[in-house]
Chains A and B, each alone.
Chain A
């Protein structure tokens, strides 16, 4: 079931993405509502991370486009915040917690600017929201996995965006961090923020998310969790790739065949 919404926070229009010719996202076409907690669920290698990255303009699109708040990303960039996977950075990098959170206050349009005292206040405030204010000067290499994740969230909070895209914020965190993060996400939703979360734990899907996207290279379902999260949809999502679709994908790669005529 794919349910479209009016005035969406995110709109994907026949989005196809390929890595080294092989399509990893095939013709995604859906809308996501604003002000909701949205889960993206699918097996490993189903393209969840790629989808988030393509929304953030971090991977080249083979076809289609993305609109955020009915605009192109560049027009609304300051309203969008991205939380990459924790494992995507080197945590041995010589910076401390505050340095990382302040990155959320960086101003790309003014390359030479420095941080204002207001930026620092916002950063401290964000750290408080994730219960990490005691770690301000701590080296990031000395943090536990859950603490690292909270630092990443604090950095995103410091951006004061309206839409948050989070790649596996619950991966490898302890139970107390998970509930801290969840409380935070709920309070953000109460403020009208839209939060999209790549998630891998089916146990918690039901009581975490209002809206669910089921993904396995192609879109399987997008709609309110209650209506979408059922055994039929899950079998489709986790029951393996579509045989013909993946064979066509292999063929495209093998022949270096274009994905659009253009």
Chain B
């Protein structure tokens, strides 16, 4: 508890700066990452972050300093160069972009490791700790590093905010943007530059290996919650910044815990939860949809069954016993119970110990399902040229999905037929023909 308070009161200036720096960096990377994600360039981020390593080493060899400002130019340069290399390879050789990315990533990273090993065998004052760039070490950041981080993150945010529309157009439909006369080379270059920049400033904190996660994961996570690009940008920024905060907190609480991996771990937890719970395309959401479909089919099948029983003596407002119902259609006890309970709640039928009685509204719905079933069978025989003994199974499923609009169109196109392919009457409700 004490550490919690110590941390979140931000009284320790050291903590304050590191947290602010990490959060700003994560937010900046998340913002740029949204566009990289939408342009399907997720892997490019990984290539950039690995390609930054040789740049850092070169910068260090020249300046002999580990400060962010000193390492940034080299990092940016080789990061940018890797993009050019990927672009060149995909344009001018037979390599597809995935192979080009893999190639550039490994070559640059290999050179980086080579340089790193060389530096470590040299007799330089500052050399120790450069290997932290592999996995990052946020705690090693000093005030000046943090200032650079925050300044550049603000720059990234400002550029993205003011060029939101052009960037969106560029990501959605670059050829159209070009046809309108947008300077798309410039805009693409700018966006790539921002990507390289955000990766370059993040590497010190989370390391070369994990940086790509900060770029892409917030965007991919946000996509599970929204269909709007502006909301996606806000959510991604929030997810990024929050992970930055929590990651720093955990590494503050437990000594010897690295910040970068914890930031990424928190982010991954959010991502996994979003995949499960996300409002758009989340796993649980789709399962809920499946269950909803199952319930709907079951309930409609019971209504249909009761309607069919009514057809036998042209009497629909009559109680049907449990035995009659299960004889007509094979419901398990559990299914039957679930269905009649739900339907009686909706006032579509009345239930007692002996059996079930359709309400007026229930009768109408039962008739509708029966009608759609038979209309669909007719449609299949007419337009898909299926034999009449091949259409029932299909109609059993499709009858539950047809919307009122499609229902009308089906009636209209088939000309309000009275008999289905099995010579059974197609029943209509009273208000069916009024609207045409």
> How many Å from the CB of B405 to the closest CB on chain A?
12
Q: Chain A 82-104, CB within 8 Å of chain B: the 1/0 string?
A: 10100011100111100110010
Bound together, the chains give a CA A221 to CA B410 distance in angstroms of 45
How many interface contacts (CB-CB < 8 Å) are there between A and B?
A: 75
Q: Which residue, B166, B172, B183, has most C-beta atoms of chain A within 10 A?
A: B172
Pairwise interchain contact B169-A84, C-beta atoms closer than 8 A: no
A37 to B91, CA, bound (A): 36
Q: B38 CB to closest chain A CB, in angstroms? A: 6
Say yes or no for B173: interface residue by CB 8 A criterion.
yes
| A111 neighbours in B (Cβ, 8 Å) | 163, 166
| Interchain CB contact under 8 A, B181 and A88 | no
Please name all residues of chain B whose beta carbon is closer than 8 Å to the beta carbon of A82 when the two chains form the complex: 175-176, 179
* Cβ-neighbour of B181 out of A90, A109, A139, A141 (below 8 A): A109
CA distance A139 to B183 in the complex (A): 28
Is B227's beta carbon under 8 Å from chain A? yes
CA distance A112 to B159 in the complex (A): 10
Q: Give, as a whole number of angstroms, the nearest-CB distance from B286 to chain A.
A: 15
Given contacts A58-B178, A89-B172, contact A112 B162 (CB under 8 A): yes
A95 to B165 Cα, complex, angstroms = 11
Known: A93-B38, A106-B169, A109-B181. A139 touches B175 (CB 8 A): no
Are B173 and A56 in touch, CB under 8 angstroms? Answer: no
B176 touches A108 (CB 8 A): no
Of residues 108 through 131 on chain A, the ones whose CB sits less than 8 Å from some CB of chain B are 108-109, 111-112, 114
Task: Please state if A108 and B163 are interface contacts (CB–CB under 8 Å).
Answer: no
CB distance from A50 to the nearest CB of B (A): 12
Given A53-B175, A84-B175, A103:B169 Cβ within 8 A: yes
In the bound complex, residues from chain A placing their C-beta under 8 Å from that of B162 are 112
Task: Tell me what chain B mostly uses at the interface: helix, strand, loop, or mixed.
Answer: helix
- A238-252, CB under 8 A of B: which get 1 and which 0? 000000000000000
Cβ contact within 8 Å between A139 and B227: yes
Chain B nearest CB, measured from A167 CB (Å): 10
Does A226 have its Cβ within 8 Å of any Cβ on chain B? no
CB of A57 within 8 A of CB of B175, answer no
What's the nearest-Cβ distance from chain B to residue A222, in Å? 23
| Minimal Cβ-Cβ distance residue in A for B184 | A108
Cβ contact within 8 Å between B163 and A84: no
> How near does chain A come to B352, taking the closest CB pair, in angstroms?
44
Q: Is B132 an interface residue (CB 8 A)?
A: no
Q: CA of A111 to CA of B169 in the docked complex: distance in angstroms? A: 12
Tell me, in angstroms, the Cα distance from A243 to B133 when the chains sit together.
59
A95 lies within 8 A of B229 (CB) = yes
Tell whether A94 pairs with B228 under 8 Å between CB atoms, given A84-B175, A89-B172, A111-B163.
yes
Query: Which listed residue (B40, B176, B181, B183) contacts A103, Cβ 8 A?
Result: B176
Would you call A95 and B168 a contact (CB within 8 A)?
yes
B171 at the A/B interface (Cβ < 8 Å)?
yes
Q: How far is the CB of A193 from chain B (nearest CB, A)?
A: 17
Docked Cα-Cα span, A238 to B269, in Å, equals 57
User: CA of A108 to CA of B169 in the docked complex: distance in angstroms?
Assistant: 11
8 pairs, A vs B, C-beta closer than 8 Å: A90-B40, A93-B229, A94-B228, A100-B172, A103-B172, A106-B165, A112-B163, A114-B165
Using a CB–CB cutoff of 8 Å, the interface residues on chain A facing chain B are 53, 56-58, 74, 77, 80-82, 84, 88-90, 93-96, 99-100, 103, 106, 108-109, 111-112, 114, 139, 141, 155, 159
- Sorted nearest first, the 5 A-B pairs with minimum C-beta distance are A82-B179, A108-B181, A108-B182, A94-B229, A77-B181
